[in-house]
Amino acid sequence: MSRNASSCPGPKRLLLILLVATALAQYGCGMFNKLTIGEEEDEPKSRPPEELIVQGMDAYNTGDYKGAIKHFKIILDEHPFSAQAMLAELKSADAHYYDREYAEAKVLYKSFEERHPANEAIPYVMFQIGMCDHSRSDRIDRDIAGPQEAIKSFTRLINAYPQSPYAKEAKTRIKDAKEFIVNHEYMVAVFYVRTTRYDEAKYRLKYMLARYPDSDLAPKAKELLDSLEAGNRPTWGMNRWLPEFMTQAPSDRQEAKDARKAAIEAGEATTNEPVEYTPAE
């Protein structure tokens, strides 16, 4: 065999050389990428949870709830086992609540309760679950599912933690929710009277009186029911049968007048503005 022939690689050797060359090329490209574009991939590393929680709370305390939620989410996503994670869970729910995202807040509060059932904040969390539903009760002509769910949540809190400082406030909220439902039921009954659907009106009034006999509207509801059952169906304006809050501006209602009178006699302001409830954190 000639020298030239012996120097030519065989088929197997040629295949091996090609494989090695391909591997080197790929490895070389990888090294090249790391060396040349490494600076573009060198993004800032995640900040420590200690820093994130401070920034999140700063945003929360200044009313920047969306900014706060972003910081709390980073903690939960990147530092779920950190000492700050539990606080981030709770304050994320609070931030959604105060940003009026009640459905999102309720999900987060319930998740916190499930994950940390023995935590000292649970009475507050249960109260806030009720508040998420209570806060959806904005107009009596809308769905009453919100106040109905609120009553269930507040009742659960009272039964589980009767000595909690939130139990007293929960009782007040239950009363408010029941009055909301009563007002809704009564307004529906009045609507039926206006549209001459008297049987349906009587059914609503009877249900309302049976379910909420001690409500503020019970006397007026009974008077209207007695009138309908006696055959004295109103043929004139219905304002007589409507409570003040449905027919008068807030400043003209008797309760507002009484409050102004009491404030003047006490030497205080001439208006009686409600005090916003601020839960303990």
DSSP state of 252: G
Are 127 and 170 a contacting pair, CB within 8 Å?
A: yes
Q: Which of the pair, 46 or 156, is modelled with greater confidence?
A: 156
Is pLDDT of 264 > 60?
no
Phi, psi of 205 (to 5 degrees): -65, -40
pLDDT tens-digit series, residues 97-140? 999 999 999 999 999 999 999 999 999 999 999 999 998 876 65
> Which tokens belong to 240?
């007589």
Euclidean distance between CA atoms 47 and 75, whole angstroms: 9
- Domain extents for the chain? 46-101, 243-273
Tell me the average pLDDT across 24-51: 51
Which region among 38-47, 149-158, 165-174, 189-198 has the lowest average model confidence (pLDDT)? 38-47
pLDDT computed for residue 211 by the predictor = 92
pLDDT computed for residue 131 by the predictor = 95
Phi, psi of 182 (to 5 degrees): -60, -45
Residue 191 — pLDDT band, cuts 50, 70, 90?
confident
Is pLDDT of 187 > 90?
no
Residue 262 — pLDDT band, cuts 50, 70, 90?
low
Is pLDDT of 83 > 70?
yes
Residue 23 — pLDDT band, cuts 50, 70, 90?
very low
pLDDT computed for residue 118 by the predictor = 94
Is pLDDT of 236 > 50?
yes
Q: Using CB atoms within 10 A of its CB, is residue 67 exposed (0-12), middle (13-18) or buried (19+)?
A: middle
CA dihedral (206, 207, 213, 216) positive or negative: negative
> Which tokens belong to 269?
């302001």
Tell me the average pLDDT across 165-178: 94
> Which tokens belong to 68?
């706060």
Are 80 and 72 a contacting pair, CB within 8 Å?
A: no
